[in-house]
Amino acid sequence: MTRSPAQTFSLVIGAVLLIAGIVGFFYNGDFSTGSHVPSDEVFGLLSVNGWHNVVHLVTGFIGLRAARSWSGARAYSFALFVLYAVVFVAGLLYGTHEAAFSLIPINAADDALHGIIAAAALVAALASPAVPPPTFEPA
């Protein structure tokens, strides 16, 4: 059976987010809350803390699971679009020195990455038909 664009996206972004969540804990695993939460920058770019890492771990794991099926990957791609679009807009509204939802530290690089992930998720979902194409067995 052919893999859909959403399945490929779910597999790749799932693995990347899972790795990002694990690596993030090496930088900062603090679970504080408030408008100014402690955070560190992965590779000097992306702000993370324990909450941010958990979001990456959960969305990554779900992506890997969703990649197993045509409909699951499509649904995951649409859901990831919504989630990351909300986080992208929240990052823009909160600014680069505040914690979105008083949990997740976000800076300009995070905003850009969240916007790119949201756009890629939407493209993957829209590029995948609702049902897989029929397969023809040679007679």
pLDDT digits (tens, 9 = 90+) for 41-60: 888 888 888 999 999 999 99
- How does residue 139 score in pLDDT terms, banded at 50, 70 and 90? low
Least confident of 64-68, 127-131, 132-136: 132-136
User: Regarding predicted confidence, which is higher, 76 or 108?
Assistant: 76
User: Is the pLDDT reported for residue 105 higher than 70?
Assistant: yes
Q: Is the pTM of this model over 0.85?
A: yes
> Which pLDDT does position 9 carry in this prediction?
98
Residue 97 half-sphere exposure toward CB, CA atoms < 13 A: 0
Alpha-carbon distance of 25 to 32, in angstroms, equals 14
59: nearest Cα among 99, 12, 106, 26: 12
d(CA 115, CA 120): 9
Tokens of 120: 């890629």
1 falls in which pLDDT band (50, 70, 90)?
Answer: low
